[in-house]
Structure 1
Amino acid sequence: MDNPANPNHRTMPIAAWLAEGQSSQRDMLASLQALKTQSTTPFNIIASHRHHRPEIFEFADLVYREPVNTAANNDEHTQAESILPRWQFVLEEAQRQNVKVLLTGRNGIDYEAHRETFKAAGIRLLTGATSVAALQSIDDKFAFMQHCHAHDIPVADAWRFDNTAELEALLAQHGHQPLCVKPVTGIFAQGFWRLDTGKPSGERYDSFEHLYFTEEKKINTTQFINAYANSQMVHERPIPMLLMPYLSGQEYSIDVVCEHGEVLAAITRHKTGKIQHIGYEQSVMEVVIPLIEAFGCDGIVSVQTKADDDGQHRVLEINSRPSGGIGYTAHSGVDLTQVGFAYWLGLTDKPKLADITQQITPCQVRSIMMSVKIEEVTAE
């Protein structure tokens, strides 16, 4: 569709825009730059973020500062003349730059509410789904579980509690087994704790252990109840929580390129110690493929699963955006960022999952820490 905001768009290269993400924006931009060098069709790569992030922006051809709250941050790149909501600011700039594909990153619901407006501008919007309702159901872990049950998808069970009385009633009913807690909404395992239920009294978690070994995410059940009941934070801002059986099996993260509920490409990975094992686990994908269809996922998303005591893979959650580890997929010979964007930009035909799986070379990956200089400091 013609872009009315830019009468010269026919002579401009098409563009892909990666808006502010959670943790993988830099890696994805680097993948797109590599794709750009391989492509016979020129295209531009645009990145935006609400903060000044030169280590991200160095991989983009054009950068923008996104509006914070509802006010645009004017600088040499934004040139905003009025206060605009983020989605409208991005839309107007995307029209000027002949953007054909927009990955929304962390603010998908804000953009999704205006899908038809982006579609009318000729922009392929990638939010992780194709409706606000679907994204809300993905973000709400209790609603997510119910939707999975309705579609006969193996999912980790969960019971919601909103106060101490409800928590204690649930523990009385289910406390004979290993349990864990986590917020109804959240990312990066924030608020997740394993409880010491289902253990003989002499094997309770040490009350000091969870303060000392925080990465183990273990807490004494009585101590958790006391902290929750007396929390000023919870009193001022109630946090809906879930009580869940703790699954003991292998956890998987699955990066998925999908379109309207169809899996186009996927790579599975699981972790042992510090090592990521990259490949394509068919038994895991037998759960993931119907899951993506049930939620109508669209774009690049990530899924977490975990096996129960019987080895049955159960879904934990969908993240409606790329995972922090999507860059690892390039080591397998299949860079999922490139696969998805090459298709959405019209550089390649629609990927077929059966073909993609044949191109994956299983491998092991270790992540390392690196540093980049973001600003020159001059002595005063």
Structure 2
Amino acid sequence: MLASLQILKSHSPVPFTIIASHRHDRPEIFEYADEVYREPTIAVADEEIVPQASITIPRWQFVLENAKRNNVKVLLTGRNGIDYEAQREAFTAAGIRLLTGATSVAALASIEDKFAFMQQCHTNDIPVAAAWRFDNTAELKALLTLHDHQPLCVKPVIGIFAQGFWRLDTGKSCDEPYDSFEHLYFTEEKKINTAQFIAAYDNSQIIKERPIPMLLMPYLSGQEYSIDVVCEYGEVLAAVTRYKTGKIQHIGYEESVMEVVIPLIKAFGCDGIVSVQTKADDEGVHRVLEINSRPAGGISYTTHSGVDLTQIGFGYWLGLTAKPKLADVIKLIKPCQVRSIMTSVKIEAEI
């Protein structure tokens, strides 16, 4: 995205500065920014741990102060968007267009909590995958008794990158359970024997120390889509759809998928650049799985279609271009196939 902004900047009649900040040393990010800042680090289980006393101000305040100092006009947050959203008035007062993925803490909270998210989708008559929450083994077993006549899967209420997602061997046409070694050997298949999942969950020290709310869901057999969306106050300004077969990403604009996405974005008042996941059921009906309130890692794939969503969004928010119209953007999309490759970057030792 920063590389796209640098290209936009090189063609812009109005000069602007690209600033990036992160809590870690990320040269692959910083090399594309004109100025960089290292944010304060917080002490949590999955981050770099530092003494709490060394953190003098909250991260959002650090970012706001540096944004004001540099006369920032547009600020796109990352995974901690809800912290910034809680301080929207302060950013607005500073003349900063804040992009967190939505425009209220409540909306971001319901997007993050997949169970609450699905309930809200039902309320708004948006096709969504069914889900039943469980917080312990007894609840899981009770739900399985009711629903194990069909293919099922599990995933955490809060999570990203398919963390904690597993397909269970329920509702199979034959009585054979999944191979007990299969989920250890072919981990990308994300399959696990139901009895073994229950045993692992029931005996997990992690669950005992830090309970993880989970969802039991019907496993949808149809095509899964990722949709990258530029939106403003619930209106879709631009979007590109993509689906994956093997290692190949298929980029384009699928009308039947967008018929679900457009009212979804409106219902949650999405604002900024977000990503949506959908999956078709056995009848081919596209159902929403989730919204991610920040850009997806694969947003760069969409540039191969001739549409750069980063440039479209920021060109508008910076006042360089007119407000995008979805109908006009659709005409520019040239369907294509993309295969990603791995790259690397050297991390220099800090002095």
**Shorter-chain TM-score: what band?**
over 0.9
> What is the match of residue 113 of structure 2?
140
Asked if 1:361 is matched to 2:345, the reply is: no
SS in 1 for 2:25: coil
Question: For the residues of structure 2 that align with 1:44 and 1:90, how far apart are their CA atoms?
Answer: 15
Residue 136 of structure 1: CA displacement?
0.3
Q: Is the 8 A contact 2:42 2:55 kept in 1?
A: no
Is 1:214 the counterpart of 2:184? The answer is no
How far does residue 200 in structure 1 lie from its aligned partner after superposition?
Answer: 4.7
C-alpha deviation, 1:218, in angstroms: 0.1
* Corresponding residue for residue 344 of structure 2: 371
Map of 1:176 onto structure 2: 149
Aligned partner of 2:11 in structure 1 is: 38
* 2:167 matched residue in structure 1: 194
Which residues of 2 match residues 56-71 of structure 1 at below 5 A?
56-69=29-42
Aligned 1:249-268 pairs, distance under 5 A: 249-268=222-241
Match of 2:276 among 303, 326, 335: 303
Match of 1:294 among 229, 246, 267: 267
- Indicate yes or no: 2:57 matched with 1:84: yes
Structure 1 Cα separation of the partners of residues 221 and 161 of structure 2: 19
Q: How far did residue 82 of structure 1 move?
A: 8.4
Return the match for 1:325 from 279, 298, 305: 298
Aligned to 2:132: 159
Does residue 316 of structure 2 align to residue 335 of structure 1?
A: no
| Counterpart pick for 2:286 among 313, 322, 326 | 313
Match for residue 285 of structure 1 among 258, 262, 266 = 258
Q: May I ask how many residue pairs the two structures share in their alignment?
A: 341
- Give the one of 225, 231, 243 matched to 2:216: 243
CA RMSD of aligned residues (A): 1.5
Q: Given residue 328 of structure 1, which amino acid in structure 2 is its aligned partner? A: Y
- 1:246-284 deviation per Cα after TM superposition (whole angstroms, max 9, x unaligned): 000000000000000000000000001100000000000
Q: Deviations over 1:90-124 (max 9, x none)?
A: 11110111100000111100000000110010000
For 1:113-152, what aligned pairs fall within 5 Å after superposition? 113-152=86-125
Q: CA deviation at 1:376?
A: 7.2
Structure 1 residue identity aligned to 2:100: T
CA distance in 1, matches of 2:111, 2:346: 37
Q: Point out where structure 1 has 5 or more consecutive residues left out of the alignment.
A: 1-27, 71-80
Deviations 1:155-206 (A, max 9, x none): 0000000011100000000000000000000000000000000015542101
Instruction: Sort the Cα spacing of 1:32 and 1:301 in 2 relative to 1 into closer, same or farther, 3 A.
Output: same
C-alpha distance in 2, partners of 1:213/1:353? 41
Distance in 2, Cα, partners of 1:203 & 1:35: 56
* Equivalent AA in structure 2 for residue 305 of structure 1: T
Secondary structure, in 3 states, of the residue corresponding to 2:18? Answer: strand
User: Which 4+ residue blocks in structure 1 deviate beyond 6 angstroms?
Assistant: none
> Which one of 203, 207, 215 corresponds to residue 176 of structure 2?
203
Residues 82 and 317 (structure 1 numbering): CA distance in 2 closer, same or farther, change over 3 Å?
closer
Q: State the distance in 2 between where 1:294 and 1:163 align.
A: 31
Unaligned runs of 5+ residues in structure 2 are 44-53
**Residues in 1 aligned to 2:348 and 2:263: alpha-carbon distance in whole angstroms:** 47
> Following the alignment from structure 1 to structure 2, what is the Cα–Cα distance between the partners of residues 92 and 135?
23
- 1:7-33 Cα deviation digits (max 9, x unpaired): xxxxxxxxxxxxxxxxxxxxx111100
TM-score by length of 1: 0.88
Name the CA distance, whole Å, in 2 between partners of 1:120 and 1:247: 45
Partner Cα distance (1:261, 1:198) in 2: 38
Which of 235, 247, 256 is 1:274 aligned to? 247
Which residue identity is paired with 1:110? D
Distance in 2 separating the partners of 1:227 and 1:82:
37
